Amino acid sequence: MASLKEVRNRITSVSSTQQITKAMKMVAAAKLRRAQDNIMRMRPYAQRLSGILTNLSSLTEGSVENKYSQKREVNRVLIITVTSDRGLAGAFNSNIIKAANSLATTKYSRQLEAGNVTFLTIGKKGFEAFTKRNFNVIGEFNTVFSNLSFDTVRAAAERAMDGFVAGEFDQVDLIYNEFKNVATQVVRTEQFLPIEEQPVDDSKAATLIPDYTFEPSKEEIIQELIPKSLKIQVYKAVLESNASEHGARMTAMDKATENAGELLKELKLTYNRTRQAAITKEILEIVGGAEALASK
């Protein structure tokens, strides 16, 4: 059985840890509120932009050449992963790393064996994980979350887009955590490039596609919208991941605080039992000594 001093030290240590986890939970809750507002404002814009682009693409009937839709034999692959810069967020980062590793070793096993799978990491945790595994890593965008804005994310999107157009990559996939609620984050794996065309049913086209007025022309508008839509797609994924991170950390710290409380109860019970046993032992020793003196 541990001594009273050891149990007291353990109680002090757990109490300090509980205060830290409680404070981290409150900080995560404050950051989550802002991150959640950002993604809620971004989602309608991203969905509307994607819808307009789909409608315009169907109106052109494939007459507009789109360099981001060129399908080639997939020999070189880029996987964009969005993780966080810090841990203590439960399985938030490990789920992304596992999904990316699984994608590379199963779907792109041939390309991986040839050394033609590259990871573009947004977030330090992904960079550290894939570097340790000796994968090809583009790690120049690990400071995105220290200054999260559209401009910083746009640079990462442009790196992937330029690489695809130049033939450096034949396919680009995007893996991130989609924010559902505080306790739920869903890992999403999406094909970023080439753009997958979504055919529109001719029988429903008249009712689905609005009557647009084009200025200067629908072809020029599409060529302008496609790159912007792709950058918005990456920015939305980063905002989703940012909100998911704070939700995961808030949940993890809340659970850690509860566990610390349960552990404190057990330690205090152990402390009282140990103290009672020590007092009982002392009383028995005193009684035994008194009886020995009386017998003389």
**What sign does the CA torsion over 98, 237, 227, 156 have?**
negative
Q: What span, in angstroms and rounded, lies between the C-alpha atoms of 208 and 204?
A: 6
The tokens describing 141, both together, are: 């965008």
**What value, to the nearest 5°, has the Cα angle with vertex 99 and ends 95 and 105?**
145
Is the CB of residue 229 less than 8 Å from the CB of residue 50?
A: yes
Question: Is residue 285 classed exposed, middle or buried when 0-12, 13-18 and 19+ CB atoms within 10 A define those classes?
Answer: exposed
Tokens standing for residue 261: 């409380």
Longest dimension (CA), the chain: 117
CATH code for residues 25-252:
3.40.1380.10
Model confidence at 5: pLDDT above 80: yes
* In the chain, domain spans: 25-252
Q: What are 206's two structure tokens?
A: 């008249």
Residue 185's SS3 state is strand
According to the model, what pLDDT value does residue 186 have? 93
Q: Note the pTM of the prediction, 2 decimals.
A: 0.84
Q: What amino acid is encoded at 192 in this protein? A: F
Write down the pLDDT at residue 78: 96
Summarize pLDDT for 134-183 with one digit per residue, the tens. Answer: 999 998 888 888 888 899 999 999 999 999 999 999 999 999 999 988 88
Residue 157 Cα distances to 103, 108, 178, 193, 268, angstroms: 20, 21, 18, 11, 54
- Yes or no: say if 53 and 226 are a contact pair by the CB < 8 Å rule: yes
